Amino acid sequence: MKPTLQKPILYRSVNTRTHGVRHGSCSAYRYERHSKKEKRTPSTRGSMHSHQRHGLDYTPLFRFLLSKVGHPWSEVFSEAKTRLDRPEPVFWMVALHESDKQAYVRTDENTYYSGLWVNEAGLLQKVNPQLTHEHMERFCDCCTHTFNGVVYAQALPHERWATPTVQTTALNPISPLPQPLQSTPDSPGP
């Protein structure tokens, strides 16, 4: 009997104990927990946990979905669902309804992927097939931005680095404002 090969999972664990890792606004619940509104609810004993999941990176899922463009959605979704811990991350990128379509989706602070949707024939398609990393704009100049896993580096114009213009002026002790230089009888006139 042949051993069956199990396909790898479509997410990976990331380090959440590192200094500087932020976990969203979980601390806001501590201000709501003993409020009057919370005391009026039927369940007076609320949990301190915000039901957020931290430490999972779904980059392998997004690459898997991009590789399956043009394939039947039912097959793609059933395979992805068996290789995930939960099915919700699939719909961060895939729109099932016409009104939910987006040209690109932001999955991390500076990580963008092509938006996907399911057409009438049931095939997985890109919302904008012509959109590439050359068309993407950077939103800040200090971070590394990626689109579909490709780094795009378009530097923003820096006004602070512009060369200063020098204005030739001389100070007149009587007037508080600088006066333009005037020609003297010894110097050639303008």
pLDDT tens-digit map of 24-50: 555 565 666 666 666 666 554 555 555
SS3 64: helix
Q: What is the pTM of this model?
A: 0.62
Residue-wise pLDDT tens digits, 148-189 = 988 887 555 555 555 555 554 454 455 455 555 555 556 555
CA angle 182, 183, 187 (to 5 degrees): 155
All structural domains of the chain with their residue ranges: 55-130
Residues 6+ apart with CB under 8 A from 100: 117
Backbone φ and ψ for 109, nearest 5 degrees, come out as: -60, -45
Please give the backbone phi and psi of residue 134, each rounded to the nearest 5 degrees, phi first. Answer: -70, -25
Signed CA dihedral, 105, 107, 109, 114: sign only: negative
pLDDT grade for 11, boundaries at 50, 70 and 90: confident
